[in-house]
């Protein structure tokens, strides 16, 4: 494997395709489906990781998807199902042979089953719950009783725990005797007699210690307990901030009910980022490439509708200066520049603020300093571009005064942009509204309206 | 801890402050610094995690920061240093007592030292390299010889490995005898006689197995080897896609040289997301809240300069229709709406495309389908809003024909937006340019220029 990135920096062409699906392999698979050759299909799919199979299923069209799944039949397993994007899961489940589905679901870990169940409609949920064994079904139903997006939904219930007074030898003997250990675990959680977690020991430490050493002597310095109703976003933040690998989850009485591992936190972190980036662009936050035209169109309508209203507001502002434009068409030609520069500067400020709020770097301790900085940056960049744009305006329309007017309007609008770009997300955040969702509209409306108003207003007073 | 999020959905007010610094604690710390009370400061800082101390240092002003660090003095440790954001690291290092710095650096893990070193200027690099013991210094210098942002920079060199023919008992005895095991490790890597990794065993499996079982029988099904020169973005992708916890890193000859753990991959993933979100907004990708006004202003200038050029281009298009506007001022009033709607629709499409390229969900297999979908969505949403906007235009200016013109212009511009919003990022990606960096400019320029051109052009032909 080679990488195109060099010593000098970030922007060299890179080998983006390091882990992309091989187009030839995809073509061969689709051909096997076309000619209905099950043996060939199974052979071709064999080297693929279940995550890659899920990606493949997402990328092909619904017709091929259904044919592939039917032909693949009983090779389809629980891992593929858990890797699939929500947007195609329902479709895949409805296509799957019910016996294959039941088998696949029984193989899954408890947290994956919950993750699958929570996005399904009632009848499909029932089908899957019915496929589970009794104990599993009760566990899944209990997990679903926790609030959506909470630690309770994210955790796995299989925990390796030991009484706090045990020695290393006792813990190792217990684990050797236990056939039902989780697939992956990284800590032994030490609990008191009421099953409250008191410490945890990494397997590495356990492994390196002599048998008679008390477990409690090996306890990790950092120990983070997560309440079962904590929001998954906070859980992901804690994992990222404190470099946790796994953390015990407790109920309202402080009793150990499960464990969350870093790979689950990583998935949440990824989803939160996706949500932020899509919300900032005014795209529904669960958009996916596999959505239909109708679904995509419906998801994007609301933000476009809001934008239409604000654009009409801006036009109403312009219409107040109809007479001025009638007298001097140059105003109509130049006015979009003032609005556009303000909009861009505002978007810069608000993106920085939204991101800093998400990472909790923007707090009471520094909010005034950040606002001051944004005002100064707006002024400084405004002045730079005012000189350029003023000169352009002056030469283009042969009017020094027009140059001054557009320059002043630009500086003022860019200061407003810096201010609105920071204050709007901070206020929304304080009001409990996700700043990524709504800031953009407020900020660009402000810079559009103010941009047109200041430029046209100033021009009316000074030039006409 | 309570969470405000309820069963129904995402947008309830949440307890954002779950892990935020307590403003009262911050105030008390700053007061202790003010009155120069070292004992009080140490006492107040004691309960804080090093990541929180780093956040605190980033959020206060440079003057308080320097005073706090000087007063905190020898309590300052390597963990705080590795948690600090690049933007304040140099400043902190220059303020730190050289002896404290040397001690802090000696405590750090090898990958953290490299992470610290790679962002520093030559003289500070020297200071830190000199503080290290010989073996550590050579190791650090070797890590720095790998390309920037490569697996070699990310990995830690401390690996727990065992010959492939060993049994569980041999591995455990070896670990018990070894005083120098890494702080955190999750696998034992099995190597052949030429130190090439052949498999890995999780500690959980090792722990649960009887002593005489051969290690190779416990080998994990999924085994992922990372080349030392692989880009860290690809490494993070592999961890996320294949749910890796740790993975061995090999040199060009396939020999084991280190190991990357999921917490490092999570940091990279977080940085990549930050880069994408900031680049999409035209903010320098290493922006930080602690940057100075001058640095911030300089970072944001380039994109604003590009925007000024494209805004002037759009104005040039408008100026071609000076006569039309002169005859019908309504055109000047309505034209920003067409451009703004196109810009928004284009941003929606491009954000989805940029994100899908980053997650490798947009590939050859589905690119034509996605483009077709975006064209249809543009047309569908364009038609919806054309009816609304056409009616508005018709009633406002009492001209049915003007309503038709603006409606048609809107539909066409939104189809163009969907097309440009998808094709531009895909083409940039094929050319090896980060689509997050440059797509926005191209797409909004297209929608602005085309918006004005289609609306004013059509109006000139039909109305005048």
Q: How many angstroms separate the CA atoms of A52 and B237, rounded?
A: 12
SS (H, E, C) B403-444: HHHHHHHHHHHHHHHHHHHHHHHHHHHHCCCCHHHHHHHHHH
Q: How many angstroms separate the CA atoms of A171 and A187, rounded?
A: 12
- List, for residues A283-337, the tens digit of each pLDDT value: 877 777 878 888 889 989 999 999 999 999 999 999 999 999 999 999 999 999 9
Q: B393 to chain A nearest CA, in Å?
A: 10
CATH fold, domain B161-280, is: CBS-domain (3.10.580)
Architecture label for domain A161-278: Roll (3.10)
Look at residue A18 in the predicted model and tell me its pLDDT. 67
Contact, B69 vs B76, CB < 8 A?
Answer: yes
Would you tell me which residues 150-209 of chain A have a C-beta closer than 8 angstroms to some C-beta of chain B?
150, 160, 172, 175-176, 178, 181-182, 184-186, 202-204, 206-209
**Pairs of residues, one from chain A and one from chain B, whose beta carbons lie less than 8 Å apart:** 422
Q: B117 to chain A nearest CA, in Å?
A: 15
What residue ranges do the domains of chain A occupy? 20-145, 161-278, 293-463
Looking at residues A397-402, what average pLDDT do you find?
Answer: 93
User: Terminus-to-terminus CA distance in chain A, angstroms?
Assistant: 67
- If pLDDT is split at 50, 70 and 90, which confidence band does A43 have? very high
Would you tell me which residues 400-459 of chain B have a C-beta closer than 8 angstroms to some C-beta of chain A?
429, 431-434, 437, 448, 452
Q: How many angstroms separate the CA atoms of A371 and A349, rounded?
A: 10
Residue A258 has pLDDT above 60, yes or no: yes
List the single best residue of B280, B363, B421, B422 to mutate versus A (max A Cβ within 10 A): B363
Residue A373 has pLDDT above 90, yes or no: yes
Look at residue B289 in the predicted model and tell me its pLDDT. 81
Q: How many angstroms separate the CA atoms of B443 and A147, rounded?
A: 41
Task: Provide the edge-to-edge strand list for the sheet that holds A256-261.
Answer: A226-227, A246-250, A256-261
Q: How many angstroms separate the CA atoms of A227 and A256, rounded?
A: 10
Fill in the DSSP letter of residue B10. S
Look at residue B135 in the predicted model and tell me its pLDDT. 84
**Do the Cβ atoms of B360 and A20 come within 8 Å?**
yes
% of chain A residues with pLDDT over 70: 96
Residue A17 has pLDDT above 60, yes or no: no
Of the candidate CATH numbers 1.10.260.40, 1.10.150.530, 1.10.357.20, 3.90.1200.10, the domain formed by B293-463 belongs to 1.10.357.20
Look at residue B32 in the predicted model and tell me its pLDDT. 94
B348–A contact, CB cutoff 8 A: yes
CB crowding A216-234: b at 16 or more within 10 Å, else e: eebbbeebbbbbbbbbbbb
Look at residue A2 in the predicted model and tell me its pLDDT. 35
Architecture label for domain B16-145: Alpha Horseshoe (1.25)
Helix or strand holding residue B247 (H, E): strand B246-250
From first to last of its 464 residues, what are the pLDDT tens digits of chain B? 333 333 333 333 334 456 777 888 889 999 999 999 999 999 999 989 999 999 999 888 889 999 999 999 889 988 898 889 888 888 898 888 888 888 888 888 777 888 888 878 888 888 888 888 888 888 888 888 899 889 999 998 889 999 999 999 999 899 888 888 887 889 999 999 999 999 999 998 888 888 899 999 999 887 899 999 999 999 999 998 888 999 999 999 999 999 999 988 998 988 888 888 888 888 877 777 878 888 889 989 999 999 999 999 999 999 999 999 999 999 999 999 999 999 999 999 999 999 899 888 898 888 999 999 999 999 999 999 999 999 999 999 999 999 999 999 999 999 999 999 999 999 999 998 889 888 888 899 999 999 999 999 999 999 88
Mean pLDDT (chain A) is 89
Q: Do B16-145 and B161-280 come out as alike in CATH topology?
A: no
Looking at residues A200-224, what average pLDDT do you find?
Answer: 90
Of the candidate CATH numbers 1.20.1270.10, 2.60.220.30, 3.90.1410.10, 1.25.60.10, the domain formed by A20-145 belongs to 1.25.60.10
Fill in the DSSP letter of residue B284. -
A222–B contact, CB cutoff 8 A: yes
Q: How many angstroms separate the CA atoms of A412 and B207, rounded?
A: 67
Q: Which of A292, A274, A293, A270 is nearest to A283 (CA)?
A: A274
Paired tokens of B452: 């004005």
Q: Which of A31, A5, A8 is nearest to A18 (CA)?
A: A5
Look at residue A53 in the predicted model and tell me its pLDDT. 92
**Do the Cβ atoms of A14 and B233 come within 8 Å?**
yes
**Do the Cβ atoms of B281 and A352 come within 8 Å?**
yes
SS (H, E, C) B315-368: HHHHHCCHHHHHHCCHHHHHHHHHHHHHHHHHHHHHHHHHHHHHCCCCCCCCHH
Fill in the DSSP letter of residue A179. S
Helix or strand holding residue B135 (H, E): helix B134-144
Looking at residues A230-243, what average pLDDT do you find?
Answer: 91
Look at residue B222 in the predicted model and tell me its pLDDT. 79
DSSP letter for each residue of A21-43: PPHHHHHHHHHHHHTT-HHHHHH
ipTM value: 0.84
Residue numbers in B near A278 (CB within 8 A): 351-352, 355
Radius of gyration for chain B, computed over Cα atoms and rounded to the nearest angstrom: 29
Residue numbers in B near A429 (CB within 8 A): 16
Contact, B403 vs B394, CB < 8 A?
Answer: yes
Residue A453 has pLDDT above 80, yes or no: yes
Look at residue B6 in the predicted model and tell me its pLDDT. 36
- List, for residues A100-137, the tens digit of each pLDDT value: 888 888 888 777 888 888 878 888 888 888 888 888 88
């Amino acid at each position: 494997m080679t990488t195109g990135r060099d010593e000098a920096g970030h922007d060299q062409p890179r080998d983006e395709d390091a882990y992309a699906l091989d187009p030839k392999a995809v073509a061969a698979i689709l051909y096997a489906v076309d000619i209905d050759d099950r043996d060939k299909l199974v052979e071709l799919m064999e080297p693929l990781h279940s995550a890659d199979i899920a990606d493949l299923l997402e990328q092909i069209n619904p017709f091929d998807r259904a044919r592939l799944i039917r032909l693949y039949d009983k090779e389809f397993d629980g891992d593929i199902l858990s890797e699939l994007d929500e947007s195609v899961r329902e479709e895949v489940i409805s296509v799957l042979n019910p016996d294959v589905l039941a088998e696949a679901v029984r193989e899954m870990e408890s947290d994956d089953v919950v993750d699958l169940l929570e996005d399904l409609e009632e009848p499909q949920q029932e089908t899957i719950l019915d496929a589970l064994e009794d104990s599993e079904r009760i566990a899944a139903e209990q997990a679903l009783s926790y609030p959506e997006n909470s630690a309770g939904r994210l955790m796995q219930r299989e925990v390796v725990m030991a009484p706090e007074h045990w020695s290393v030898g006792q813990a190792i003997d217990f684990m050797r005797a236990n056939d039902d250990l989780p697939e992956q675990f990284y800590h032994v959680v030490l609990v008191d007699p009421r099953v409250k977690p008191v410490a945890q020991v990494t397997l590495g430490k356990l492994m390196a210690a002599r048998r008679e050493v008390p477990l409690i002597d090996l306890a990790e310095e950092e120990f983070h307990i997560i309440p079962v109703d904590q929001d998954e976003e906070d859980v992901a933040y804690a994992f990222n901030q404190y470099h946790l690998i796994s953390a015990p989850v407790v109920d309202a009485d402080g009793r150990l009910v499960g464990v969350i591992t870093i790979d689950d936190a990583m998935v949440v972190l990824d989803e939160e980022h996706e949500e932020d980036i899509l919300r900032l662009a005014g795209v529904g936050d669960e958009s996916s490439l596999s959505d239909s035209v109708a679904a995509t169109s419906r998801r994007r309508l609301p933000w476009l509708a809001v934008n239409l209203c604000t654009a009409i507001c801006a036009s109403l502002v312009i219409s107040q200066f109809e007479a001025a434009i009638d007298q001097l068409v140059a105003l109509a030609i130049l006015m979009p520049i003032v609005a556009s520069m303000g909009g861009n500067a505002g978007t810069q400020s608000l993106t920085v603020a939204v991101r800093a709020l998400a990472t909790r770097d923007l707090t009471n301790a520094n909010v005034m300093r950040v606002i001051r900085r944004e005002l100064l940056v707006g002024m400084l960049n405004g002045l730079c571009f005012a000189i350029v744009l003023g000169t352009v305006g002056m030469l283009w329309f042969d009017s020094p005064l027009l140059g001054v007017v557009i320059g002043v309007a630009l500086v003022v609008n860019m200061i407003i942009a810096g201010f609105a770009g920071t204050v709007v997300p901070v206020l929304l955040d304080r009001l409990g509204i996700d700043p990524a969702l709504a800031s953009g509209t407020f900020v660009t409306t402000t810079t559009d309206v103010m941009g047109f108003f200041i430029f046209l207003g100033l021009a009316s007073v000074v030039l006409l």
